[in-house]
């Protein structure tokens, strides 16, 4: 289904266990620019395919904006309870809810960064980027050692996009941020815990959590979509938690999203079998 192979990629049927190494090999056969990264958070072992390749970020760039928000709270430069009054000129097309809300709506900074993640709210994202400044977010990413993750333009900035400016991420760098959160090392233990809880409350769950949520498996994650682009990066919990990042540009979106669903379930079952044996 996912490219020529001498055996079924799903190892005997949809939902059967599949190792991260097998998933990485399978990712290499998908069309487009594909990146894959998986890390066992107990042993530290990894499997990847082009995880350091720079890709158009779509809404996964919002992880960088969330990180900046929590650093500013920690440093005393942002009050999560500070209110913002929604204006007509703030509103952007979906994803998100604020574009459908009335002018004059009073929302807090916490409302904005929460909606930016759980509903992937574009209006909230640009409000925060105007508040922080794109270069401030980029400086923060460099201070963390990330060389690829970059905000190059606001969302829905057609003029900048026409000049070829796109926000950039890599699967490996998103995994870095997620691992720092998991270890309580991104900003602070308290901030890391709060960011992970926001990511666990994600409402767009059609990729990594597609099968897992029905099994009661928590997933802290962030998706991204655009024409020919689909991503999902997150932490899959359970008795043996692991990081899982799928990123794709210029790809067959329905095919890659089905791949994410199947591989997430297969890898979860592989981890459960390996660590519980």
Q: How far apart are CA 206 and CA 197, in angstroms?
A: 19
Say yes or no: do domains 1-53+171-277 and 56-169 share a fold: yes
Q: How far apart are CA 198 and CA 80, in angstroms?
A: 14
Domain ranges across the chain: 1-53+171-277, 56-169
Q: What is the mean pLDDT of residues 107-114?
A: 98
**Is 13 a residue whose pLDDT tops 60?**
no
What's the mean per-residue pLDDT of the chain?
94
**pLDDT per residue over 223-259, tens digit each?**
999 999 999 999 999 889 999 999 999 999 999 999 9
Q: Which CATH class is domain 56-169?
A: alpha beta
**DSSP assignment string, 190-253:** HHHHHHHHHHHT-S--SSTHHHHGGGT--EEEEEEEETTEEEEEEEE-SSS-EEEEEEEESS-H
**Is 3 a residue whose pLDDT tops 60?**
no
Q: What is the mean pLDDT of residues 125-134?
A: 98
**Is 7 a residue whose pLDDT tops 50?**
no
**Is 5 a residue whose pLDDT tops 60?**
no
**Is 187 a residue whose pLDDT tops 90?**
yes
**Is 14 a residue whose pLDDT tops 70?**
no
Per-residue pLDDT at 275: 73
**pLDDT per residue over 189-211, tens digit each?**
999 999 999 999 999 999 999 99
**pLDDT per residue over 166-184, tens digit each?**
999 999 999 999 999 999 9
Q: What is the mean pLDDT of residues 247-276?
A: 95
Chain position carrying tokens 């994410």: 260
Q: What is the mean pLDDT of residues 146-174?
A: 97
**pLDDT per residue over 209-227, tens digit each?**
999 999 999 999 999 999 9
**Is 12 a residue whose pLDDT tops 90?**
no
Q: Which CATH class is domain 1-53+171-277?
A: alpha beta
- Residue 37 has phi, psi (to 5 degrees) of -150, 135
Per-residue pLDDT at 1: 58
Split at pLDDT 50, 70, 90, the class of 277 is low
Q: State how far Cα 158 lies from the chain centre.
A: 23
**Is 105 a residue whose pLDDT tops 90?**
yes
């Amino acid at each position: 289904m996912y490219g020529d192979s001498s055996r079924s990629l799903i190892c005997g049927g949809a939902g059967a266990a599949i190792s991260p190494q097998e998933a990485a090999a399978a990712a290499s056969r998908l069309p487009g620019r594909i990146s894959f990264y998986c890390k066992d958070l107990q042993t530290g072992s990894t499997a990847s395919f082009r995880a350091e390749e720079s890709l158009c970020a779509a809404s996964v760039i919002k992880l960088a904006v969330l990180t900046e928000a929590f650093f500013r709270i920690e440093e005393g430069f942002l009050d999560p309870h500070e209110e913002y009054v929604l204006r007509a000129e703030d509103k952007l097309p979906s994803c998100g809810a604020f574009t459908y809300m009335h002018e004059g709506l009073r929302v807090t900074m916490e409302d904005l960064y929460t909606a930016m993640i759980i509903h992937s709210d574009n209006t909230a994202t640009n409000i925060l980027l105007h508040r922080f400044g794109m270069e401030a977010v980029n400086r923060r990413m460099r201070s963390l050692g990330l060389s690829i993750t970059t905000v190059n333009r606001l969302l829905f900035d057609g003029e900048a996009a026409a000049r070829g400016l796109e926000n950039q991420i890599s699967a490996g760098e998103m995994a870095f941020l997620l691992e720092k959160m998991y270890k309580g090392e991104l900003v602070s233990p308290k901030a890391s815990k709060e960011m992970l809880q926001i990511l666990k409350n994600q409402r767009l769950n059609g990729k990594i959590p597609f099968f897992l949520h029905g099994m009661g498996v928590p997933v802290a994650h962030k998706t991204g979509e655009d024409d020919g682009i689909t991503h999902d990066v997150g932490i899959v919990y359970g008795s043996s938690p692991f990081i899982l990042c799928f990123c794709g540009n210029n790809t067959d979106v329905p095919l890659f999203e089905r791949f994410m669903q199947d591989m997430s379930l297969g890898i979860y079952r592989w981890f459960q079998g390996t660590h519980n044996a």
